[in-house]
Amino acid sequence: MASPEDILASFLPFWDELDAAKRAALVAGTHTHRFDAGAHVHNGENDCLGVLLVLEGSLRAYMLSSSGRECTLFRVGARESCVLAATCVLPMITFDLFLDAEEQTTVAAIDSQVYASIIQGNDAAEAFTYRQTAERFSDVMWVMQQQLFMGLDARLAVFLLDEVARRGTTDLPLTHDEAARHIGSAREAVSRMLKSFADQGVVALTRGHVEVLDKGALHDMINA
């Protein structure tokens, strides 16, 4: 594995602008964590883990309703970072954000207080932080648009097409419960909709798998 200095230099575009003392503080405040698939990484606003740099694997960011229903907001893949887990650094984050490991995942976490001390005195670091925040909120707004203005069929179609693109295959290892958790719907409703898709020849359903047969039909549902 790369040294902490190399990891930070590859993730933080403002690294070269820091003096030796600030670089040393970042190195001392950065720790590596490994998570198994499905493990909780960040548990809401009271869990200020820090700025996360994903070295390998991927994280799923989601909201959780009072009834336990989940809705995926965005994913953080390998070589990407997530500043929204440092909620104590970003006081404008007023909602609970949860992060789970989607697969075996290794992250480097920069201590929140150390990171806060860096961005307070460095315009480039502050700009990077707020640019990262804005990009993630763009993802969140796309999800909110789906929730507010799209029917279940269109939301499910968006999810399936995204999964095909992300995984690089039309044969998706996916249960109905997993699909429901991602799009913030009830499993029973998603099961009925997938059955309707199958009846139309858009997908084929087998245990633990959804195979997309007609991507064009899914696009038509989104654009209807």
Domain range for 214 is: 150-223
Cα separation, 45 vs 83, in Å, equals 13
Q: What is the CATH number of the domain that holds 213?
A: 1.10.10.10
Residues 100 and 172 in one domain: no
pLDDT band at 50 (very low <50, low <70, confident <90, very high): confident
Name the domain boundary from 127, 148, 169. Answer: 148
Between these two residues, 67 and 86, which has the higher pLDDT value?
Answer: 67
Query: Please, what is the average pLDDT of the chain?
Result: 92
**In this model, does residue 205 exceed pLDDT 90?**
yes
- Would you tell me how many other CB atoms lie within 10 Å of the CB of residue 42? 23
**In this model, does residue 87 exceed pLDDT 70?**
no
Residues 85 and 121 in one domain: yes
102-141 per-position pLDDT tens digit: 999 999 999 988 998 998 879 999 999 989 989 999 999 9
Residues 161 and 194 in one domain: yes
Cα separation, 57 vs 74, in Å, equals 14
Which amino acid is residue 56, in one-letter code?
Answer: E
3-state helix, strand, coil in the chain (%, to 5): 45, 25, 30
pLDDT band at 2 (very low <50, low <70, confident <90, very high): confident
User: Residues, the chain, total?
Assistant: 224
pTM of the entire structure?
0.88
Residues 160 and 80 in one domain: no
